Amino acid sequence: MIKEMNERVGKMDVWDIGLTKGTVVFGVLFILGIWPVAMEAVASVNPWWFLVGWVLLAVRPMSRFFG
């Protein structure tokens, strides 16, 4: 299983790694945006925009990883 994952990650380039980092940032911001306790941290932005950003950034790395 680890060997297969290493082969899949080997298909990714620098852009894919950077987009994956951005995906993580937008995912965390979305979770903070919908969580009532942490809502005031990102209250000025609609949390659904973070979900849209997450999807847009995740398309290329996910397609290269699973494709």
pLDDT of residue 37: 75
The C-alpha atoms of residue 56 and residue 18 are separated, in whole angstroms, by 13
Three-point CA angle 43, 47, 49, nearest 5°? 125
The model scores a pTM over 0.85: no
**Can you spell out the DSSP letters for 6-32?**
HHHHHT--HHHHHHHHHHHHHHHHHHH
pLDDT of residue 45: 79
Residues 10-37 pLDDT 10s? 888 899 999 999 999 999 989 888 887 7
The C-alpha atoms of residue 5 and residue 9 are separated, in whole angstroms, by 6
